[in-house]
Structure 1
Amino acid sequence: MTIVRLGYVAMSVELQNASPSQTMTFAQFEKIKDREAAIRKLERIAISNLENSLRLLKHNAGNQIHFFRLSSRLIPLANHQDLLDWDYITPLMDTLRKLANYIKEHLARIDFHPDHFVVLNTPDKEILRNSLKTLAMHKALLKGMEIDTEHRCVLHVGGGYNDKEKALELFIHNWAYISPSIQKMIMLENDDTTFTVKDTLYLCEKLGVPMVFDYHHHLANHEENDWVTDWERIVATWSHSPLPVKMHISSPRSEKDFRAHADTIDPQMFLDFLHQIKGTVPEIHCMIEAKQKDAALFQLAKDLQGNEGVTWIDQSSFIIE
């Protein structure tokens, strides 16, 4: 038997007016003649995003959801080259403490998935520098929320650059330039176009990084269709983590548009996965990556009701036997 906990990504389709990703472009920033006034506006947007994140966490607690991915767009323009003198964390500390208190009270697993422009195997030093700045922002937010930073940021391996083997070695080369505190935050995920489960496992095992298995990505991009033979190795990458194994679940929008995410999760596809791995880990956290966000989670829970071998613990957690 294995305990399964469901989570969802960044925002709710059920909770109105609670976007955690409100933003301001740099062009809009420049139109405000008073620079200090423009910065204060950025701070108000960031505070609003954090307050909406707290609303989302309360929504999750009310629905017994214990696992959530925060938006990576909480602080607009945080790393813009013309705003490097902006101390964006200090004005947010009161709101971050409210989040910290709520997270501690409700024991939620919180993490991030920084945007695709965070690339650690890049040959471009400026892109690497900006990627590390973005990860440092995530670290500052985690610390402000008093969350242990270990294994909280999921990343893809990066670009293939027309030579996948070289790209993998470039990741290892660049890893040496990354501070241990940032290294400690990172988990790696197999992607749907370039780096397969085996590619990602190669890096995770070599660098001591947990691997987040994305089932849908594997179906879209694999060397061998049988992922089960690698499951034991995937689980082993989590052996030094304080957190349970994490995976991503989504369903193809269609056969023609296979890589795109559907609105909801195919329950049979998910059950097929769970029946393959049940008993191999005591607990697994499954992040739903579906267009309908929390509504997809509620629908999946409804679809799984009454299935043989599924015993519900609460509204988003069950035992698979």
Structure 2
Amino acid sequence: MTLIRLGYVAMSNQVPHCSPSQTMTFAQFTKIKDKEAAIRKLERISASNLQNCWRLLIHNAAYDIQFFRLSSKLIPLVNHPEIPKWDYLEPLADELNKIKDFLLSHPEVRIDFHPDHFVILNSSNIDILKTSMKTLKMHFLLLKKLGIDPEHRCVLHVGGGYGENEKALEQFILNWGIIPESLQRMIILENDDTTFTLSETLYLCEKLGVPLVFDYHHYLAHHSKDENWSEHWGRILNTWHYSKLPPKMHISSPRNEKEFRAHADFVDVNMFVDFLREIKGSLPQLDCMIEAKQKDGALFQLMDQIKEFPEIKIINGGSFFIH
């Protein structure tokens, strides 16, 4: 028997006018001649994003959804090299504290981030590496302000293959040595759908002591001919052995055969249950992040469909046991 908790990514399609990713472009910023006024506008947008994030957490609690990915775009332009340095945390203290208070009163809720694709830790370009670490530090500070232990809260892809995967993996290991330990502990790695397979990502995770987030859809889209995910499942779980958090994975379905890598609106319940039948009993709990276009709508549909399977015992609106 395994407990499965479902989550979704950043934004709801059920709660109107609640985007946590409102932004201002750099072009819009430069058009405001008074830079102090421009910074104040960035702060107002950021405050609105955090307020909407709090509303989404309230929405999740109403439906017993205990797993949620925060938007990495909560603070627009925060790391733009041409934006004057500003203390964005102090003006946002009230909104950050509202979220912190919610999380303190709901300790069962798991929160994480998935920084954008431009965070690349295996680049040989020192400027790209510095920018990536700056972005990771922003995520670290936000987690701390929200009262969340940053350990194992940021999912990353390995990075670019640059035409030679083995060399790119070794570059990641080389760069790892100059990444601050506090940021190292925050990172978990995900197999991707174009470059680094499950086996390659596992190699890194085992070598560096980093948990692996198994993305089933990515595996289906990109794996070597002799690679079978189930043969590696024990190794995947073992990467989480020293984590305070239960293992997590990503679940999504292909949009269609032609656009196989693209996410569908909803999750194919039969595909998901077939996967769960293979892993049930191998671990006490698995947190599954749904990466579907319909966001929480996909979670609600999946919960409605999965209850029809005899081995499923529904616990609440976002969790169930599989026997």
**TM-score above 0.5:** yes
User: Corresponding residue for 2:258?
Assistant: 256
Structure 1 unaligned blocks of 5 or more: none
Shift of residue 84, structure 1, vs aligned partner: 4.9
**Does structure 1 retain, via aligned residues, the 8 Å contact 2:199–2:227?**
no
User: Corresponding residue for 1:81?
Assistant: 81
TM-score (norm: length of structure 2): 0.98
Q: d(CA) in 2 for partners of 1:235 and 1:74?
A: 31
| Aligned positions of 1:160-175 closer than 5 A | 160-175=161-176
Matched, 1:122 2:123: yes
Q: d(CA) in 1 for partners of 2:105 and 2:66?
A: 11
**Aligned partner of 1:154: which letter?**
V
Partner SS, residue 279 of structure 1 = coil
**Aligned partner of 2:280: which letter?**
K
Q: d(CA) in 1 for partners of 2:100 and 2:181?
A: 24
**Aligned partner of 1:171: which letter?**
F
Matched, 1:181 2:182: yes
User: Corresponding residue for 1:201?
Assistant: 202
Q: d(CA) in 1 for partners of 2:281 and 2:305?
A: 22
Shift of residue 16, structure 1, vs aligned partner: 0.2
Partner SS, residue 44 of structure 2 = helix
User: Corresponding residue for 1:241?
Assistant: 243
User: Corresponding residue for 1:271?
Assistant: 273
TM-score (norm: length of structure 1): 0.99
Pair 1:131–1:84, CA change in 2 (3 A): farther
**Does structure 1 retain, via aligned residues, the 8 Å contact 2:249–2:288?**
yes
Q: d(CA) in 2 for partners of 1:130 and 1:54?
A: 28
| Aligned positions of 1:46-125 closer than 5 A | 46-107=46-107, 108-125=109-126
After TM superposition, which residue ranges in structure 1, 4 or more long, deviate above 3 angstroms?
none
Partner SS, residue 81 of structure 1 = coil
Shift of residue 83, structure 1, vs aligned partner: 2.5
Q: d(CA) in 2 for partners of 1:220 and 1:8?
A: 21
Partner SS, residue 188 of structure 2 = strand
User: Corresponding residue for 1:138?
Assistant: 139
Structure 2 unaligned blocks of 5 or more: none
Shift of residue 225, structure 1, vs aligned partner: 4.6
Pair 1:136–1:84, CA change in 2 (3 A): farther
**Aligned partner of 1:102: which letter?**
F
Q: d(CA) in 2 for partners of 1:230 and 1:111?
A: 24
**Aligned partner of 1:92: which letter?**
L
Shift of residue 191, structure 1, vs aligned partner: 0.2
Shift of residue 33, structure 1, vs aligned partner: 0.9
**Does structure 1 retain, via aligned residues, the 8 Å contact 2:153–2:188?**
yes
Q: d(CA) in 2 for partners of 1:40 and 1:248?
A: 37
What does the per-residue CA deviation read over 1:169-205, in whole Å, with 9 as the maximum and x for residues that have no partner? 0000000110000000000000001100100000000
Deviates more, 1:184-193 or 1:84-93: 84-93
Tell me how many residue pairs correspond in the alignment. Answer: 321
**Aligned partner of 1:94: which letter?**
D
**Does structure 1 retain, via aligned residues, the 8 Å contact 2:188–2:213?**
yes
**Does structure 1 retain, via aligned residues, the 8 Å contact 2:46–2:75?**
yes
Shift of residue 88, structure 1, vs aligned partner: 1.3
Q: d(CA) in 2 for partners of 1:175 and 1:89?
A: 28
Q: d(CA) in 2 for partners of 1:138 and 1:93?
A: 15
What does the per-residue CA deviation read over 1:51-80, in whole Å, with 9 as the maximum and x for residues that have no partner? 000000000000110000000000001011
Q: d(CA) in 1 for partners of 2:93 and 2:232?
A: 43
Q: d(CA) in 1 for partners of 2:7 and 2:141?
A: 23
Q: d(CA) in 2 for partners of 1:146 and 1:86?
A: 22
Partner SS, residue 201 of structure 1 = helix
Matched, 1:20 2:12: no
**Does structure 1 retain, via aligned residues, the 8 Å contact 2:267–2:302?**
yes
What does the per-residue CA deviation read over 1:216-250, in whole Å, with 9 as the maximum and x for residues that have no partner? 00001111352100000000000010000000000
Q: d(CA) in 1 for partners of 2:176 and 2:137?
A: 15
Q: d(CA) in 2 for partners of 1:197 and 1:84?
A: 41
**Does structure 2 retain, via aligned residues, the 8 Å contact 1:219–1:225?**
no
RMSD: 0.7
User: Corresponding residue for 1:320?
Assistant: 322
